[in-house]
Structures are given as structure tokens and as C-alpha cells.
């Protein structure tokens, strides 16, 4: 079973415990977060990362922000919650789960405005903890549906998947999105082999996906990003599965930078390109991916990766954290409600009408 990424320890005075993913793969260290500022920093610098995990972290952060509030007036308390939510929302702009989770807690506070403030605090913490169980159920369902797509090879041969970045257990509470079908298929006794792109510039594929799969006993081969075309051309890949930080209502997909290129290659070589997308990552308010805000990160991630300078001082750097893959490259979305296929502007609306 995949390792737990984030959980709550103790009672109301406890802490949000999360893996510090900036230290992997050389060190597995847990952080106990007890204040909103530390949670904001953890989200910003990618100690916790992956859209679903960020959402859960933000929910805990919102509770931590007001846990010690002495306010007894619910109107003033709501103002404190809203201020903390705006602060947490400023940490990262692209992953819709961050805003989804904050709005969910804010709605809970609004709905229960007639209750005493201590009771509202208890409900906030309970809601954040409930998100973990919900995320596990959602990711497990994605795994069950996704595993049905991993067919077409003889039983004696491994089904070979290429993935980009990390959308495994480390990106969620435990099971992952893109890797959930891998874990489920392995449970079923099927032979699965994963090719993991290293994922420049922060190497989430090398540091996180490869480590996570090794921990789970899943065969994994690490490749650099610019090897994907060669690996596909050699017939080593049966399918691509990636995660997503936000999906627009037309099926355009925002994911880690480099995903768009992988999708183009998959289309060229006739390889299905699947996106594991919990419905919480689907933003039906956006007509297309052009409207998805793309985070741009500091140039040092490119010029001084992991503390060693690899580019001339003063060179201009463009460092978007994500790109948008147009829906025409997406074979299907794998959601907890089932497989969603084109035309997405119709099928996604049908999905939310269920």
C-alpha cells in the first residue's frame, strides 16, 4: 500500500503531519505543522505538493489559522476565516483543489454561523480530516477504473506505462491519481512496468515517482525528459497516464511543464494518453485551458538546481511550472465516476449532471 502523505495527529490541539517532499529521495522526514504560516510555506516551496494533497493541506491550514482565535462573535470569526483563506490561496495559483478545499471550509463556516465558535472550529477540523478519507476513496475508484484500461498485452508481458512528474501517493493523501491504476493492477497480480520521466527542473519524477514505486515494489525505469520520444518509438510504452492540477470544461488539461510535449509524442506514436482527474480538479467555470492561471517559479530552480549553478550568472530564465495540453491530445479522463471520453464539452457536463 502506498505511504501516507498527509494526516492529522492528535486531537484539536494536534498537528498536520506531512512528508517533507523537498528532502526525498535521500531522506524521509515528517513535519508536524501547527500554524498557518508554516503550512503556507510548505505549500509554496513544495514540501507538500500535488493538487489533492495541496487541497487537504490548505484545509488543515485554515483550521490552524483560527484554532487559537479568541473571537466569540461568529461574524468576526468568519472574517478571520476569510482572511486566512485569502492568505493560503496566495501560495500557489494553478491547482484548483487548493481553492476548492478553502471554499468548502468557508461554506461550512457560513452554513453554521448560528453555532458557537468552538463548535465551528471542531467542524472545520472534522471536515479537513474527512477530506483524507474522501480522497482515498476517490483515488481508489480512479485506480479501479484506470486499471481496466491497462489491457492489450499478453499475460506474460508487462504492461508498460509512461508517466510525467509525480501523481502518485505523494501527490494525494495516499493512493495517487495517475499511479492509482498501477497500484490496483499490481494488486490484481498483473505485471506493470513504469517509465518515469525525471521531470525537469525539480525532478519530481526522479526524486518522487521512482522512489515511491520502488517503495511499493513496482518495477520502474527512470528516463530523462528528452528520452520519451525514443522510448515510445522503440515500442516500450503501451500507454501514458498523467495527473492534472486543473481541467477546463472543454477537456484542456493543466499539468506539470512538459506534459504537453509528452501528449504530442503519444499522438505521433499512436499511444493512448490518459489523464487521471478527480472531479475536484475539474473546473467547469473555465471554458478552456487558456483561462487557467499558470504559476511561474523563481529562475534559480533552473539555473541553480539543488544548489549547483548550471547556467551563466544573469541569464534570462522562463520557468512556468505547468503547461496546458489541448483536449484534442487527450484520449480519456479517468475520474472517480468513470472514464470520460471526447467530446469533453459534452461528456464533462454529463459527468456533473449525474
Residue linked to cell 526524486: 207
Q: Which of 165, 202, 200 is nearest to 307 (CA)?
A: 202
Q: How many CB atoms neighbour CB 68 within 10 A?
A: 10
**CA 117 – CA 107 distance, rounded (Å):** 15
Helix 51-66 to helix 36-44 angle, to the nearest 10 degrees? 160
Cis peptide before 343 (omega within 30 of 0): yes
Distances (CA, A) of 331 to 239, 243, 259, 267, 343: 10, 13, 14, 9, 10
* Contact criterion met (CB below 8 Å) for 243 and 95: no
Phi, psi values for residue 246, rounded to 5°: -165, 140
Catalytic pick among 135, 197, 245, 283: 245
Q: Which of 94, 101, 96 is nearest to 39 (CA)?
A: 101
The alpha carbon of 261 is separated from its chain's Cα centroid by a whole number of angstroms, namely 19
**CA 270 – CA 139 distance, rounded (Å):** 27
* Contact criterion met (CB below 8 Å) for 297 and 321: yes
* Contact criterion met (CB below 8 Å) for 67 and 262: no
Residue linked to cell 471526447: 342
283 catalytic? Reply is no
Sheet with 273-276, strands from edge to edge, namely: 220-223, 192-197, 159-163, 239-242, 273-276, 332-335, 338-340
The DSSP element (H or E) to which 220 belongs, if any, is strand 220-223
CA atoms in the 13 A half-sphere facing the CB of 292: 31
**CA 22 – CA 48 distance, rounded (Å):** 8
The set of catalytic residues is 245
Amino acid at each position: 500500500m502506498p505511504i501516507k502523505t498527509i494526516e492529522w495527529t492528535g486531537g484539536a490541539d494536534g498537528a498536520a503531519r506531512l512528508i517533507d517532499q523537498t528532502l526525498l529521495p535521500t531522506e524521509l522526514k515528517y513535519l508536524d505543522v501547527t500554524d498557518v504560516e508554516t503550512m503556507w510555506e510548505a505549500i509554496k516551496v513544495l514540501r507538500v505538493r500535488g493538487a489533492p494533497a495541496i487541497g487537504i493541506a490548505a484545509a488543515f491550514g485554515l483550521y490552524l489559522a483560527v484554532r487559537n482565535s479568541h473571537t466569540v462573535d461568529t461574524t468576526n470569526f468568519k472574517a478571520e476565516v476569510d482572511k486566512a483563506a485569502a492568505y493560503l490561496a496566495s501560495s500557489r495559483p494553478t491547482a484548483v483543489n487548493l481553492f476548492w478545499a478553502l471554499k468548502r471550509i468557508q461554506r461550512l463556516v457560513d452554513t453554521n454561523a448560528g453555532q458557537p465558535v468552538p463548535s465551528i472550529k471542531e467542524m472545520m477540523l472534522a471536515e479537513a480530516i474527512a477530506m483524507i478519507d474522501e480522497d482515498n476513496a476517490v483515488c481508489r475508484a480512479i485506480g479501479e477504473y484506470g486499471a481496466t484500461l491497462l489491457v492489450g498485452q499478453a499475460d506474460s508481458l508487462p504492461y508498460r506505462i509512461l508517466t510525467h512528474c509525480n501523481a502518485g501517493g505523494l501527490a494525494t493523501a495516499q493512493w495517487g491519481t495517475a499511479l492509482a491504476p498501477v497500484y490496483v493492477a499490481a494488486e490484481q497480480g498483473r505485471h506493470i512496468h513504469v517509465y518515469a520521466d525525471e521531470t525537469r527542473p525539480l525532478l519530481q519524477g526522479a526524486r518522487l515517482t521512482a522512489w515511491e514505486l520502488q517503495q511499493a515494489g513496482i518495477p520502474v525505469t527512470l528516463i530523462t525528459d528528452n528520452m520519451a520520444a525514443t522510448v515510445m518509438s522503440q515500442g516500450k510504452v503501451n500507454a501514458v497516464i498523467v495527473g492534472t492540477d486543473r481541467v477546463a470544461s472543454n477537456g484542456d488539461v493543466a499539468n506539470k511543464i512538459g506534459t504537453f510535449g509528452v501528449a504530442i509524442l503519444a499522438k505521433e506514436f499512436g499511444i493512448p494518453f490518459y489523464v487521471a482527474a478527480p472531479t475536484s480538479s475539474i473546473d467547469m467555470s473555465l471554458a478552456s485551458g487558456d483561462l487557467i492561471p499558470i504559476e511561474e517559479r523563481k529562475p534559480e530552480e533552473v539555473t541553480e538546481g539543488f544548489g549547483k549553478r548550471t547556467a551563466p550568472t544573469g541569464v534570462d530564465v522562463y520557468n512556468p511550472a505547468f503547461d496546458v495540453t489541448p483536449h484534442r491530445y487527450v484520449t480519456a479522463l479517468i475520474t472517480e465516476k468513470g472514464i470520460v471520453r471526447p467530446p469533453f464539452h459534452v461528456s464533462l457536463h454529463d459527468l456533473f449532471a449525474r
